[in-house]
Every structure is written in C-alpha cells, then in structure tokens.
Amino acid sequence: MTKRKHELSLMNVILCLLVIFIHASSTAITVADKTSWEYALLLPAWRLAACAVPGFFFLSALKFALGAEKEGFSYKKYVLGRIKRVWLPYAMAVLVYFVYFVLLNYMEPSVPELVKLLFDGNMCGHFYFVIAIMQFYFLAPLWRAILKKLSEPAYAVIALVAALPLGMIFGQYLTDFISIFFKGWLFPYADRVFSTYIFWWMAGLVVGRHYGYLKNAVVGAWRGITALFLFAAVMSGGLSLLHFSGREYIYWLETVHVFYIVCAVLFLFTICVKSADAPIMSAKLICAVDRSSYSIYLWHPLFLYFAKALLGGKNVPLSVTFGTHLFFSLVVTVAVCVCVSAVVGKISKIVRKQ
C-alpha cells in the first residue's frame, strides 16, 4: 500500500474547507448591505477562497503523476476505478438531490431531465467539478505521454507557459471562441470543459514529476512565496471589494484574480509541505476528513438546503444566517460523512474476512 503523504492530505482538507466556506457564505454575501462592515469582511474572504477548485485540479494531477510511476498501468482498470470511486457516488448524489427537489416541488419528476442533469452537472452548482475531472481521467493516456516529456525541465517550463493562455482561450473565452463559428449560439458549459482547467492540471503534473526537488525548493523559498501570496491576496481581495460593492468598475479584475490563485495554490502547497511533519498531522480527524473529503464535497450543499429551510421566512441577523449555514455545511456534513465512511469501512473489512 502506498504511504499517505501528509502534506497532500492536509492540502486536500484545507481545499475542502474552503469550498464549504464559499457555499456557506454565499447567501450572507448576497443579502448583505454592500456598504456594511459584514460585507467588507465576507466578500474578500469569499473571493480569496476561490482558489479551492483550481487547487483540487492541481492536487488531482499531482497525485496522478505520482501514481503514474507504478508499473503495469491498465487504462481499463484505471477508468473503471474512477467510475467506481468518483462517478457512481456522484450519480447517487444527483438522484438524491433530484428526489429532494421533486418532493419540495422545485422540479417535476422526469427521467429524461434526470439523465440530462446527470451528464451536464446542472443538478446542483458544485457538480460541474465532477464533469470536468472525469474528462481528465478519460484522457489518462495523454497525460502519461506528457509526463514522460516533463522529466526534462525545459519541457516542463514550455508546458506551463503554453497551458496558461490555452486555458484562457479555451476556458475563460471558450464561449466567445465558439460563437465565432456558431453565430447566435452561446455555449453554456465552458466551466466544465477540461481545457478550462488545463493550467492547474499541467502544474500538478509538473510538480508530481519533480516532486522531491520541488518540495525542497518551496520550503527553501517559503518566505518569498508567503510575501508574494500576501501581496496577491491584498490585491485581489481589496480590488474585489471595490468592484463588487459598486464603488469602482475594474474590468481587469479577473487577471488579478488569476494571479492570486496561482500564488494561493503555490502558497498552500508550500505551507502544507512545511507542516507535513507536525504532530497534528497524525491526528485522526485530519485523516478522517481527508478520506471523506469527496463525500463532503458532494453532500454539503444538501445540508445547506436544510439550513435554508430552517431559516426560511425568518428575519434573523446576518451573523445568524452565516453561522447556521456554516454549522450545517461544515459541522453536520463532516460529522455525517466521516461517520458513514467509518461504518462503511468496518462493514467492508467484515465482508472481506468472510
């Protein structure tokens, strides 16, 4: 069995918590007075937490690169494994969300609609990630071929330099690109096409291929990386507040935000590497959350719906709204998913012994 890398487990947990924060705070940010101190506090934090999804693609590619060194790779076995561990839990979640929405009369029962939502990821806002990551899994032979070239530092640099603009052209501007050839048609799925996240995936492949060297490099440069991260965070957070509060229109804000995300993913990886040998890394809670992180990702919005139903129609302070949403999406979701994972694990052990 491959030894679990503590730094990657910690980064996975942090990214999972950031996703929960994004969704837990979205309602509070939407209803908050844009001139209030609450908005000034939440909005920058909400924007800065957006490094979570790019971080997940980076981490997935890094793990893929580390695993690619094993002999006897079978594409069929790999894809079936991804379907079992990623697609089937997602499909179950889609079905549960669909039934929940039908029971609340948010949707009409329809098998064709359910199938459509299953494959386009529109059942719930966060499911787009599953649609995108599965495309990367299906392209595993391509990444394995690229990994062989990435052993050469020159090719690694070229890959990163090319991936960033390609990700923008066929990601951020994909809808505009397609509209050149199909006038009057707006492509609505740019956020779940793998090319949108190609830079983060390629960065993960590069780090995974040169893992030992880059681990030592980021530890040695941690002060500079931290300073760069803080600068980018202040820039992105401050300018985002000015823009979204309506005080200024900053058309180039997304460029600043991309710069921040690059710095944030690098910073998270650095602090996780530095913390890998800390005593807390052996804590059972971190290991449990790491193992249950995908389930937490899939199910935490459902618990958010429960929180919204609990507060529905009630005039409560913004702090109560945010606190309730955070409690249900974080504490309740993590507790349920970790417990279910533990029970399933024990049952699996019993079955294997028989």
Question: What pLDDT, on a 0 to 100 scale, did the predictor assign at position 24?
Answer: 94
Contacts of 75 (CB under 8 A, 6+ apart): 140, 141
pLDDT score for 1: 41
Measure the CA–CA gap between 118 and 124, rounded to whole angstroms: 10
Tokens of 66: 């580390």
Report pLDDT for 282. 66
Tokens of 238: 């401050």
Nearest to 55 by CA among 3, 129, 2, 110: 129
107 closest CA partner among 91, 90, 95:
95
Q: What is the pLDDT of residue 3?
A: 64
* Measured distance CA(163)–CA(155) in Å, rounded: 12
CA 14 – CA 290 distance, rounded (Å): 9
pLDDT number for residue 5: 85
Q: What is the pLDDT of residue 243?
A: 97
Q: How far is CA 293 from CA 20, 76, 167, 285, in A?
A: 11, 25, 26, 12
Kindly report the number of other CB atoms within 10 A of residue 50's CB atom: 18
Euclidean distance between CA atoms 17 and 326, whole angstroms: 10
Output the pLDDT for position 123.
Answer: 94
Q: Which two structure tokens, joined as six digits, stand for 48?
A: 């800065």
d(CA 134, CA 167): 17
Per-residue pLDDT 10s for the chain (354 aa) are 456 788 999 999 999 999 999 999 999 999 899 999 999 999 999 999 999 999 999 999 999 999 887 778 899 999 999 999 999 999 999 999 999 999 999 999 999 999 999 999 999 989 999 999 999 999 999 999 999 999 999 999 999 999 999 999 999 899 999 999 998 888 999 999 999 999 999 999 999 999 999 999 999 999 999 999 999 999 999 999 999 999 999 999 999 999 999 999 999 999 999 998 877 766 788 889 999 999 999 999 999 999 999 988 778 888 999 999 999 999 999 999 999 998 988 887 777 776
